[in-house]
Amino acid sequence: MTIPSIDDSIFVQRFARQPSIVSILPVKMTISGLIFDIQRFSVHDGPGIRTTVFLKGCSLRCFWCHNPEGLRMTPEVQFLPNRCLTCGECVVACGHDGQHLDEDGRSFERQHCVACGSCVEACVAEALTLAGKRMTAEAVVAEVMRDRVFYETSGGGVTLSGGEPALQPEFSAAILAQSKAEGLHTAIETCGQVPWASLEALLAVTDLVMMDLKQVDTEKHHAATGAGNERILANARQLALTRKPLVFRTPVVPGVNDTAAEIGAIAAFVRELVSLRAISSNGNGPADISWELLPFHRLAADKYRSLGLEYRARDLNPPPKDQMAVLTEAALASGVAVRAN
């Protein structure tokens, strides 16, 4: 199976119609959402020591995505055949003919699976796991608060990532609002491919926005991610007009944006954002916009396999150090401050 296209997910349309209701929600109302991981001691997703909550479901399909379990909007079973003991417990546990063990060997028939999780519970080898768990915002925040002392000593907090947090705007807003009420620093990582209203609604409870910029050429963007970049660039401009600290991030991916010209074009766009903000703020306060280049890493092969997805980036090589240096040069030449990681 290849990566499901965006068009088969109804959520984009659904949330596109969603008005900006989240900012007026009472904080304590019980809202639940779908997440696929909560990672403590997260140190690359904003200032200080953080906990990153990964929300499930994304509106882009970047072929190199290193969190493929975050793409779909529904829970799904991951199967790692190399851990399987062929004990057959999952076969007994499944009421939907999803798990097979016979002369032909062991197979997982994803098309029958309704992601009920019974086989996952029965599997002692942890060859079967469930990506996607419904949690209330309160439960998420309770988990996040376990590391409060670390946020205090480091100036850290919580980051919502994904997937795309703005695709579950009420849930995200509730987590962020409750975290803020606890005094935490809050951040979101967005791909930008969401209605402005959904993003805007989160800003009141977000201290830092991190957003991807992958390509300024919309055709190329479409080829790489399954969608054009018009909405993303528009949202970036909208964000520049606010006073929120912004970090733009460019994953440097071979064939997608790894030439000096392409990085230079992104740099020019970032420069435009910086001046937009300078004009809109009338020279008041710092233009708190920064930009980072992150080399692509080929680490997700196992995850793609476990999800029955094709890993189209499997033969790509991470950009070597000297190439990253050249690209950083190109970025700096456009007069924009950039940090390469």
Partner 1 sequence: MPTLLVQPTAFTLAARYEALRATKMAHTAEKWQVVGAMNHDDWGLILPPPDDQEIVQAMSGSGVMINDVRLKDIPIERNHPGGGSYGPVAVGRSFRALLDRHPVYVDPASSLAGATMVNFMSYRKQHWNPDLDYSHLHAEQRKYQIHSGIGGAQHFCPDLAIGLELGYGGLLQKIAYYREVNAPEHDGFYAGLADVVMGTQDWIRRHAEAARQMAAAEAQPEVRRNLEEIAEMNDRLATEPPATFREACQWILWYLVTARMYDGSGATGRLDLLLLPYYERDTAAGILSDDDAAFHVACLLLRDTGYIQLGGPDAAGHDVTNPVSYLILEASHRLKIPANVGVCVGDSTDPGLLKRGVEIMFEDRLGNPKFLGVDRTTEGFARNGYPLELSRQRAYSGCHWLALPGTEYTLNDIVKINLAAVFEVALSEMLSESTHPSIAELWERFAAHLRRAVEVTAEGIDFHLKHMGDVFPELVLDLLCYGPIERGLDASAGGVDYYNMCVDASALATVADSFAACAHWVEGERRLTAHGLTAHGLTAHGLTWAQLKGYLESDWAGDDGERARLLMKKAPRYGHGGTIADDYAARIAQLFTELVKEKPTPAGFNMIPGLFSWASMIAMGKEIGATPNGRHAGGPISHGPNPDPGFRKDGAPTALAVAVAAVQPGYGNTGPLQMDMDPGLGRDAEGIEKVAALIRAHFALGGTQINLNVMDKRTILEAHKDPSKYPDLVVRVTGFSAYFASLSPEFRQIVVDRIVSEG
Question: Which member of 98, 192, 195, 295 binds ligand SF4 (CB under 6 A)?
Answer: 98
Options 52, 118, 168, 206; binder of ligand SF4; rule CB under 6 A: 118
When the beta carbons of 77 and 201 are compared against ligand SF4, the nearer one is 77
Contact status: 114 vs ligand SF4 (CB under 6 A): yes
- The answer to whether residue 175 forms part of the interface with ligand SF4 (CB under 6 A) is no
Q: Which two tokens stand for residue 102?
A: 């016979």
C-beta of 56: minimal distance to ligand SF4 in Å? 16
- Give exposure, 58-82, as e/b (b: 16+ Cβ within 10 Å): bbbbbbbbebbbbbbbebbbbbbee
Residue 5 is classified by DSSP as: P
Pick the piece of the chain touching ligand SF4 (CB under 6 A) from 113-121, 139-147, 247-255, 277-285: 113-121
Task: Using the CB atoms, write b or e for 269-305: b if 16+ within 10 Å.
Answer: bbeebbebbbeebeeeeebebbbbbbbbeeebeebbb
308 near ligand SF4, rule: CB under 6 A: no
Transcribe 48-102 into DSSP letters.
SSEEEEEES--S---TT-S-GGGTSSS-EEEE-GGG-----HHHHH-SSS-EEEE
The residue from 116, 265, 268, 326 that contacts ligand SF4 (CB under 6 A) is 116
User: Pick from 119, 116, 114, 126: which is nearest to 100 by CA?
Assistant: 119
In the complex, minimum distance from the CB of residue 168 to partner 1, in angstroms, rounded to a whole number: 22
Closest separation between CB of residue 1 and ligand SF4, Å?
A: 15
**Residue 171 contacts residue 55 (beta carbons within 8 Å):** yes
Sign for the CA dihedral angle at 215, 220, 223, 226 comes to: positive
* From partner 1, ligand SF4, none, interface partner of 113 (C-beta below 5 to 8 A by class): ligand SF4
134 belongs to the binding site for ligand SF4 (CB under 6 A): no
Cβ-closest residue to ligand SF4? 98
State the nearest-atom distance from the C-beta of 87 to ligand SF4, in Å. Answer: 4
Cα–Cα dist 161/176, whole Å? 12
Q: Indicate the SS3 state at residue 160.
A: strand
Cβ 266 vs Cβ 249: under 8 Å? no
Residue closer to ligand SF4 (CB basis): 106 or 185: 106
Q: Which residue shows structure tokens 């090589």?
A: 317
* Residue 131 touching ligand SF4 (CB under 6 A): no
List interacting residues with partner 1 (CB under 8 A).
37, 39-41, 43, 47-49, 85, 87-89, 92-93, 121-122, 124-126, 143, 146-147, 149-150, 152-156
> Of 89, 138, 182, 217, which lies in the binding site for ligand SF4, with binding defined by CB under 6 A?
89
**Residue that the structure tokens 């965006």 belong to:** 6
Q: How far is the CB of 82 from ligand SF4 (least distance, A)?
A: 10
| 41 φψ region: left (φ > 0), alpha (ψ -120 to 50), beta (else) | left
* C-alpha to C-alpha distance for 323 and 260, rounded to whole angstroms: 9
- CA–CA gap between residue 194 and residue 199 (Å, rounded): 7
Q: Is 127 in the site for ligand SF4 (CB under 6 A)?
A: yes
Beta bridge partners of 106: 101
d(CA 301, CA 66): 9
The entry of ligand SF4, partner 1, none that residue 261 binds, CB within 5 to 8 Å by partner kind: none
128 binds ligand SF4 (CB under 6 A): yes
Q: How far is the CB of 307 from partner 1 (least distance, A)?
A: 17
39 binds, among ligand SF4, partner 1, none (CB under 5 to 8 A by kind): partner 1
Q: What is the per-residue binding string for ligand SF4 in 234-273, x denoting contact by CB under 6 A? A: ----------------------------------------
Which residues of this protein are in contact with ligand SF4, per CB under 6 A? 77, 84-90, 93-94, 96, 98-99, 101, 106, 113-119, 122-123, 125, 127-128
